[in-house]
Amino acid sequence: MNKQEQNNMKKFKIKTNHFVFIDDFEQGEKQCVNSYELSIEINSDNYTEAIKYYFENYLSFEFNIKFSYIDKDSNSLNYSVLVDSDNNEVKDGDYMFSEWKKGKQTLYNNHIDLYVYELKEITLQ
């Protein structure tokens, strides 16, 4: 990336609140067992690319915006990821997923509330 391209990029701050629930295949979400916050600054052409980069490179979760929900009241993006006890994503087709469906494996729903802020440098006077 050349200097001109870097100068045209925008800087975004992404902040996420995570709420981790025990997830039962039959009964759905149960009690909340963990919560935490994360944030990072990302240079990107636009906020959607910044969000995708954040999920895939910072959280190590696959991201598909069509499975997200935009909460217009809080101006946040809501997304959920099925994870194991080490917070690694578990996907349909994985052995742990099939065991979870049989009630033999405990998995968790990592519910994510994501907020995006565009950061702009100002001229001090």
Q: Parse the chain into domains and list their residue ranges.
A: 3-119
Cα–Cα dist 88/37, whole Å: 17
The pTM is what?
Answer: 0.87
Q: Which ranges in 9-124 belong to alpha helices (H)?
A: 47-53, 95-101
pLDDT at position 5, please?
52
Tokens of 10: 């925008």
94 DSSP 8-state letter? S
59-105 residue pLDDT tens: 999 999 899 999 999 999 999 999 999 999 999 999 999 999 999 99
Asked if residue 1 has pLDDT above 70, the reply is no
Contact 28, 48 (CB under 8 A): no
Query: Which residues is 34 bridged to in the sheet?
Result: 20
